[in-house]
C-alpha cells in the first residue's frame, strides 16, 4: 500500500520507517528543500539519531507525489495544520486524512480531526494518537496507538493499514475523546515538568497527574467525549508517558519553566497553546480546571512559578 506522510519531522519520519519496514511504499513530504536533500543523500533524519530511512520511503519537497496517495498522514503541528488544509483543500478532497498531531486550534477551538472535517469537508478525517515517542517507533520498539475515526468501516481499514509487527493500532469512533486526550495530556506534562523543575519532588508530580486526569475528563465529557476513551491509550496512557519522561518536549518545557531556565524556542510545544485554548473553553463552559489555567498563565508570563504553586496549594480542602 502507498501511504503519504506530510511532515518530515521526527514523528512523521518515524511512522514512515515503521510502515516502510512492514512493506509499504511511503511518500514523505517535507517543506524544507535542504532537509529533503539531506534525507535523500544520507538516508537519515537529524531528529532520529542512528535510524536509517528505508529505500521504500520516497522523500520530496514537492506536493504532487504526496497528493497522489489516497491515505495521507498529517504529521504537522496542530497550530499550523489549518493553514496547510486551507491552502490545499481542493487537492485533499476525497482523501483519507489521518491527523498525527495533538492540540486544540486556538482560532477554531477544535481538535485535529474536527479541523480536517471543517476545512476539507470532502475528506475522510481520522486521528492517530496515543502514548508514543518518535524514537521508539523508529527503532521498532513495541508501541500501541489509538486510531479514531467516526466511520467505523474506514477506521477498520486504516487500523489494518497502519498496524505493523511492533506498532499495534486500536480503534475507536470517539474522535472527540481521542482529540482531547492527546491535547490535554500535554498541558499536564508541562505541569509535571514544572513540579520537578521547581524541585517539588516526585510526590508533587504524582499529585498533579492524579488531579490533572479528572480535569481532562471534565472538559472531554462536557464536549461530548465517551467516558471510557479518556481511560484508554489516547488519554491515561499518553498522560502517564508524557508526564514521566524527558523525551517529552512538553515535559522538558515544564522543567525549564519550573527551574527558571531557558528553553529552545524552535522546539514545538503543543501544550502551551493548548493550555490557553483550554482556559478559554473552561471559562465559556464554567468548568473548574485549575491546573490548566495555571499552566496557561505561566506560558504567557501572567504569573510566576511561586505564585502559581501557591494558587494551587491554597485551594479549598474537599472530599476526593
Q: How far apart are CA 215 and CA 225, in angstroms?
A: 13
Residues comprising the chain, all counted: 320
Among 107, 60, 99, which residue's Cα sits nearest to residue 77? 99
Terminal-to-terminal C-alpha distance of the chain = 50
Residue 318 annotated to the active site: no
Alpha-helix residue ranges (DSSP H) falling in 237-289: 238-244, 249-259, 270-285
3-state secondary structure of 32: coil
How is residue 303 annotated by DSSP? S
Would you state the cell numbers that stand for residue 89, as one nine-digit string? 483543500
Q: How far apart are CA 295 and CA 275, in angstroms?
A: 6
Q: How far apart are CA 43 and CA 131, in angstroms?
A: 27
- Quote the strand ranges of the chain, DSSP E: 2-6, 25-29, 57-60, 71-74, 96-99, 124-129, 143-148, 167-172
Would you state the cell numbers that stand for residue 189, as one nine-digit string? 506534562
Q: How far apart are CA 192 and CA 186, in angstroms?
A: 10
Select which of 47, 56, 95, 185 is catalytic.
185
| Residues carrying an active site annotation | 185
Amino acid at each position: 500500500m502507498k501511504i503519504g506522510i506530510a511532515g518530515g519531522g521526527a514523528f512523521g519520519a518515524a511512522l514512515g520507517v515503521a510502515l516502510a519496514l512492514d512493506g509499504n511504499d511511503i511518500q514523505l513530504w517535507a517543506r524544507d528543500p535542504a532537509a529533503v536533500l539531506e534525507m535523500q543523500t544520507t538516508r537519515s533524519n537529524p531528529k532520529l539519531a542512528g535510524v536509517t530511512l528505508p529505500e521504500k520511503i520516497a522523500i520530496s519537497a514537492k506536493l504532487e507525489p504526496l497528493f497522489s496517495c489516497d491515505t495521507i498522514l498529517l504529521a504537522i503541528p496542530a497550530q499550523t495544520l489549518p493553514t496547510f488544509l486551507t491552502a490545499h483543500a481542493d487537492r485533499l478532497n476525497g482523501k483519507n486524512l489521518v491527523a498525527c498531531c495533538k492540540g486544540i486550534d486556538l482560532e477554531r477551538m477544535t481538535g485535529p480531526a474536527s479541523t480536517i472535517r471543517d476545512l476539507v469537508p470532502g475528506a475522510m478525517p481520522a486521528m492517530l494518537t496515543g502514548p508514543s515517542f518518535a524514537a521508539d517507533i523508529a527503532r521498532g520498539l513495541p508501541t500501541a496507538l489509538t486510531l479514531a475515526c467516526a466511520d467505523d468501516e474506514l477506521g477498520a481499514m486504516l487500523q489494518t493499514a497502519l498496524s505493523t509487527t511492533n506498532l499495534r493500532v486500536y480503534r475507536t469512533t470517539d474522535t472527540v475523546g481521542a482529540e482531547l486526550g492527546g491535547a490535554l495530556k500535554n498541558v499536564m506534562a508541562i505541569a509535571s515538568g514544572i513540579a520537578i523543575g521547581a524541585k517539588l519532588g516526585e510526590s508533587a508530580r504524582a499529585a498533579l497527574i492524579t488531579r490533572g486526569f479528572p480535569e481532562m475528563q471534565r472538559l472531554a465529557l462536557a464536549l461530548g467525549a465517551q467516558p471510557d476513551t479518556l481511560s484508554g491509550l489516547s488519554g491515561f496512557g499518553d498522560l502517564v508517558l508524557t508526564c514521566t519522561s524527558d523525551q517529552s518536549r512538553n515535559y522538558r518545557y515544564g522543567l525549564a519553566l519550573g527551574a527558571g531556565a531557558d528553553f529552545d524556542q524552535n522546539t514545538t510545544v503543543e501544550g502551551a497553546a493548548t493550555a490557553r485554548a483550554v482556559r478559554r473553553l473552561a471559562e465559556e463552559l464554567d468548568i473548574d480546571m485549575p491546573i490548566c489555567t495555571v499552566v496557561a498563565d505561566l506560558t504567557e508570563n501572567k504569573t510566576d512559578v511561586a505564585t502559581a504553586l501557591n494558587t494551587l496549594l491554597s485551594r479549598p480542602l474537599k472530599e476526593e
